Structure 1
Amino acid sequence: MSFFRKKFYVADTHFGHDLMLTRPGRPFSSTEEMDEALIDRWNAVVGDNDIVYHLGDFAMGLADEDRVSGVFNRLRGSKVLVLGNHDFKRPNVLHPTLARLDWMTSPSATVETTDEGHRVFLSHYAHRVWPGCHKGSFHFFGHSHGNLPAIGRSRDVGVDCSDIAFAPKTFAELTQGML
């Protein structure tokens, strides 16, 4: 049996993070409302066989493993974690709650993939240069919550960006006007 897998990209969901409620553009009255909206929007576009590259800062309150795994298990698709600053228990040590989740591959600091025939470099952090940037590759990042302008073929894919609208996006959606 063969099936078509779409690829999606997103960053900075910060599931369960109270501080995110104070960010401009996050119109939620509670973390529960925010989490439910993020889950609903994710599942509205991602299919069970799709892949979602999450570019860091998946959740906060990682000590509540049942809550974090409950959110993770409700999200459709296979998930790849590119590590963000809030994904660690301490420097260079992935939080055990995240380590126990069923990621498609082991979480890592950067990932490279191809999408629609284009090379794509993924990192939680924005890079001024990235592998293949002088040869037409793309770079998707998070961390900046929509506050850092793109350089060349790079862009923020965090849920706070107005065109992301709290849902994972495809390569075509993210690169519209960049090709």
Structure 2
Amino acid sequence: MSHFRKKFYLSDTHFGHALMLSSCNRPYKSADEMDEALIRNWNAVVRPDDIVYHLGDFAMNLGDEDRVRSIFSRLMGSKVLILGNHDFKKPNALHPTLARLDWLGTPTTSLETTDEGHRVFLSHYSHRVWPGSHKGSVHFYGHSHGKLPGVGLSRDVGVDAIGVGYAPRTFKELTAQMNLEGAR
């Protein structure tokens, strides 16, 4: 049986970022334990030919390029990076460690795709309006770590947001509670 390429979405893995353990809803005892759990969870749902849209804040301690590269290489699927605030070395300059990873396409601040026949706008930051927001377009964002409710057809896809469960999720999973047909 052949496998069709699936799309997945998530944000704010913050690999290696110990502060996430105390400032966000992360049930891990150490950054290493968190990293290993996030990698396990990712690889439990993503297959090698799938695509994962990562909506920013991939890793911390970006100066340790070998560690970041090792984590990246262990994650299944092709990966697209939508830039988050922690992905820059300085304003408007992608961190060189992230720039050297094998992303599918050039990392960007926002991106549109389609999934399940719907237009999807991706950004690290929540928007009150977005391209197509009044015509049924869905918006996935991160940054807020589950603390900012969505507006209309938008939602937080951060690993620690409600319903995400510390793993990449599909469009269908992320929009299960939305009235997509009523929005068109």
Which bin holds the TM-score, normalised by the shorter protein? over 0.9
Deviant stretches of 4+, over 2 Å = none
SS state at 2:19 partner: helix
Measured in 1, the distance between the counterparts of 2:140 and 2:119 equals: 11
One-letter amino acid matched to 1:177: Q
Residue identity over aligned pairs, in percent, reads 71
Root mean square deviation of aligned Cα: 0.9
Q: Deviations over 1:49-106 (max 9, x none)?
A: 0000000000000000000000000000000000000000000000000000000010
Aligned match of 1:120: 120
One-letter amino acid matched to 2:169: K
Aligned match of 1:9: 9
Aligned match of 1:45: 45
One-letter amino acid matched to 1:114: T
Instruction: State the number of aligned residues.
Output: 178
SS state at 2:66 partner: helix
- The answer for unaligned runs of 5 or more in structure 1 is none
Aligned match of 1:142: 142
Q: TM-score, normalization: structure 1? A: 0.98
- The answer for unaligned runs of 5 or more in structure 2 is none
Aligned match of 1:154: 154
Measured in 2, the distance between the counterparts of 1:16 and 1:5 equals: 29
Aligned match of 2:79: 79
Report deviation, 1:10: 0.2
Aligned match of 1:104: 104
Measured in 2, the distance between the counterparts of 1:65 and 1:24 equals: 25
Measured in 2, the distance between the counterparts of 1:23 and 1:162 equals: 16
> Which shows bigger deviation, 71-80 or 14-23?
14-23
Measured in 1, the distance between the counterparts of 2:129 and 2:94 equals: 26
How do 1:16-27 and structure 2 match up within 5 A?
Answer: 16-27=16-27
Aligned match of 1:166: 166
Report deviation, 1:39: 0.1
Q: TM-score, normalization: structure 2? A: 0.95
Aligned match of 2:36: 36
